[in-house]
Amino acid sequence: MHITHVGQPRSRVDGRKKVTGAATYAAEFTAPDLAQGYIVSSAIARGKIRTIDVTAALAVPGVIQVFTHENRPRTAWRGSKYQDEVAPPGTPFRALYDETIVYSGQPIALVVAEDFEIARYAASLVRVTYAPERHETDLEKVREKAYVPPKKRSGIRPPPNPRGDSETAFAAAPVKVEGEYRIAMEHHNPMEPHATTVVWEGDGKITVHDKIQGAQNSQAYITNVFGLSKGDVRVVAPFIGGAFGSGLRPQYQLFLAVMATLELRRSVRVVLTRDQMFTFGFRPDGLQSFSVAANEDATLQSIRHDLIQNTSHFEDYQEATVNWSAMLYHCENVTTTYKLAKLDTYTPADMRAPGSPTGLFALESALDELSHKLGIDPVQLRLKNYAEVDEGEGKPFTSKELRAAYQLGAERFGWARRNPEPRSMREGRELIGWGMATGMWEANMMKTSARAILTADGRLEVGTATADIGTGTYTILTQIAADALGLPMEKVTALVGDSDLPMSPVEGGSWGAASAGTAVELACHAVREKLFNHAKGINDSPLGGAKVNEVAFRDERIALISDPSRSVSIAEAMRAGGVDRIEAEETASPSKITQARYASYTHSAVFVEVRVDEELGQIRVTRVVDAVAAGRILNPKTARSQIMGGVVFGIGMALHEESMTDHNLGRFMNHNLAEYHLPVNADVENIDVIFVEEKDNLTSPIGVKGLGEIGICGTAAAIANALFHATGKRVRQLPITIDKVLAE
Ligand code: MOS
């Protein structure tokens, strides 16, 4: 029987490599004569370096050089040269640029030595004196200075124009909820720290192994900053040990490692320590003020969502945070505003569905409060105000099976048995709460190229420069390619993470599968046509005068659909054409018409059970059902892992993760995995993932909408809502820690 792969639960093709250690990460590549760098970080948050004395460091045997702003080699002068493909407006941070300190933890020197421990020891001997200036890291203190970003960040939709009159409608409505909501700043904390190994190939050429979600983003950054040509710089990053957005932009260790390599004409590796992982981008906090009002019959009358989010002094980071409040529900009077305020920190970075879980925490918490006040079931409230179109932009959705997600999720969870009364369920010392929330995230496709090479032995290689950031990209590209040419997966090799491969943007925004998947399919179809034309050239071809749409590529052969006994093998077709390989490169572009006329989003319905120890205030998330509508599912196994990971991050956001700042020092204090709490196995119990059937042929030609991020989107809000149901306590500030549960 003929076997196809797309839609089937296939194990990861790179799984064995990963668990056996054969997968090579940025800091594991090596080179002859490899030198090691160690970074010295600033101890103050703002001011100037008065003196930096490297004499003692240089005197340590084995130290090769110490780089500071005083001896930094010349690099590009214009700030725009440092802008990478996802940079927000502004001038990116430039390491060792001058004596100015703009945030605590800023790299101020790079010690390069024969080995890592020598470099680390020597770094401790670098003596720095500062002229500190007053810094501000407290968002509350700069609230009054908030501004509407003058320049929009490319790819980020600004909040839609207000519709109706939310204030008048709010005043007139009988049932209302108003509140201030806050999340914590969070750091991505991938298992693999950021690292760059630069191999000096001689003759001014370098091969760079960088922790990056898009090899060509690092390549372009290096060529712009160091004035090199593309041919001199190859970036190879086949495996990424988690990134969650921290690897979208080239980070300062890349700059430092390349700078040192070019200057020393010798291979150099720079690895960040875990605490240095807290010295660049993070998820911004925000001051969110949210209000919603309804009629007695639960029809929404007014929504208002205002946000002030922190950014750095040098860039205007932006994300879509309040937009969800303008499109998730039907409501005639809606106002959303988005402002920034500058702090003496690094620029925030995209992190795990940037903006969505933040904004949805306010929206979905407030709707839960509203349903309680109205005495209506939270799911019913959402169904009653279901948005049939994106009312923010006035566009229909490409697809939206959220109703089915509510229904299937509720059924699986047993939601019908819920007693709406808070504190109504208990087992021993534990209060039990059931809460739910809606999740929503963008479904994007990005212009991407791919190539396919079929050889006479029936092997197929496909490649595109995107990354596999742990999402299963290698696997789904292999499935798509195998099906396109009717091959077993073992005969297909997928290549990603190499700047030499055809053009791809960074893997982010959950667009990888829709974009790279479509590109690979197009390239395979081009190969298929060429192969078919060769097959037709066979004397008395079994395919006769068939057209390409009248044959099937299956079981490593080309067969007539009407009579599968008439077929040609790949080798026979190539022989007839006098070739031993067929190659094609294609570019997949999103439809401009779809983008102009439609809104494309993924949705989810998240149902959560928490158990709260009433005396200790301890919260456990004992059960999660996440019903996801994300278009066609290429591989239910890797897809399920994506959603489970997202849900775990939602648990982290709701209960654990918090980057704490000491405002006196202007510095993140819990910069390690002991004090920055991430959910561990003991925090994660039952997670049940449902994929709702959803047909969408507008977002991408292959029907895919992407699901790397939708798993986190509504989860934190659902947990907060479950906590309310368990305890009767509404917590509006994340993470929900024991002190907040026990507070009177
Ligand atoms: Mo994602 S935060 O675009 O890696």
Amino acid at 535: A
> What is the whole-number distance in angstroms between the Cα of residue 53 and the centre of ligand 1?
39
How many Å apart are CA 174 and CA 301, to the nearest integer? 10
For tokens 């959803």, name the residue: 694
> What is the whole-number distance in angstroms between the Cα of residue 246 and the centre of ligand 1?
8
The closest of 202, 249, 694, 705 to 505, measured between CA atoms, is: 249
What is the pLDDT averaged over residues 460-474?
A: 98
Amino acid at 324: W
Residue 462 has pLDDT above 70, yes or no: yes
Give percent above pLDDT 70 in the chain: 100
How many Å apart are CA 548 and CA 551, to the nearest integer? 6
Atom of ligand 1 nearest to the CA of 509: 3
Which pLDDT value is given to residue 317?
98
pLDDT, tens digit, for every residue of 260-307? 999 999 999 999 999 999 999 999 999 999 999 999 999 999 999 999
How many Å apart are CA 524 and CA 479, to the nearest integer? 12
pLDDT bin (cut points 50, 70, 90) of residue 515 is very high
CA distance to 159, 187, 310, 319, 462, per residue, from 339 (Å): 10, 22, 9, 11, 44
In sequence order, the 6+-apart residues with CB closer than 8 A to the CB of 121 are: 60
How many Å apart are CA 21 and CA 547, to the nearest integer? 47
Residue 557 has pLDDT above 90, yes or no: yes
Residue 479 has pLDDT above 70, yes or no: yes
> What is the whole-number distance in angstroms between the Cα of residue 310 and the centre of ligand 1?
18
Which pLDDT value is given to residue 179?
97
Atom of ligand 1 nearest to the CA of 351: 2
The closest of 357, 359, 301, 288 to 330, measured between CA atoms, is: 301
Atom of ligand 1 nearest to the CA of 248: 4
> What is the whole-number distance in angstroms between the Cα of residue 632 and the centre of ligand 1?
21
The active-site residue out of 186, 315, 401, 709 is 709
Residue 454 has pLDDT above 70, yes or no: yes
Residue ID of nearest Cα to ligand 1 atom 4? 245
Q: Decide if 186 is catalytic.
A: no
What is the pLDDT averaged over residues 10-21?
A: 97
Which pLDDT value is given to residue 1?
59
pLDDT bin (cut points 50, 70, 90) of residue 227 is very high
> What is the whole-number distance in angstroms between the Cα of residue 609 and the centre of ligand 1?
28
The reported pTM is 0.98
Q: Which residues line ligand 1 (CB under 6 A)?
A: 213, 244-245, 248, 350-352, 354, 508-509
Q: Which of 248, 712, 713 to mutate to test the pocket of ligand 1 (most atoms within 8 A of CB)?
A: 248
Which pLDDT value is given to residue 3?
81
Q: Are 38 and 123 in contact (CB under 8 A)?
A: yes
- The secondary structure element, H or E, covering residue 576 is helix 570-577
Q: What tokens appear for 504 in the block?
A: 């791809």
> What is the whole-number distance in angstroms between the Cα of residue 247 and the centre of ligand 1?
8
Atom of ligand 1 nearest to the CA of 244: 4
What is the pLDDT averaged over residues 112-126?
A: 98
Helix H, strand E, coil C: the string for 475-521 is: HHHHHHHHHHHCCCHHHEEEECCECCCCCCCCCCCCCHHHHHHHHHH
- The secondary structure element, H or E, covering residue 720 is helix 715-727
First to last CA, the chain: 66
pLDDT, tens digit, for every residue of 702-717? 999 999 999 999 999 9
pLDDT, tens digit, for every residue of 527-547? 999 999 999 999 899 998 999
Atom of ligand 1 nearest to the CA of 349: 2
pLDDT bin (cut points 50, 70, 90) of residue 442 is very high
* Residues in the chain, overall count: 744
Q: Which of 85, 187, 442, 709 to mutate to test the pocket of ligand 1 (most atoms within 8 A of CB)?
A: 709
Helix H, strand E, coil C: the string for 139-206 is: HHHHHHHCECCCCCCCCCCCCCCCECCHHHHHHHCCEEEEEEEECCCECCCCCCCCEEEEEEEECCEE
- Rounded to the nearest integer, the mean pLDDT of the chain is 97
Q: Which of 246, 350, 602 to mutate to test the pocket of ligand 1 (most atoms within 8 A of CB)?
A: 350
Residue 478 has pLDDT above 80, yes or no: yes
The 10 Å Cβ neighbour count of residue 439 is 36
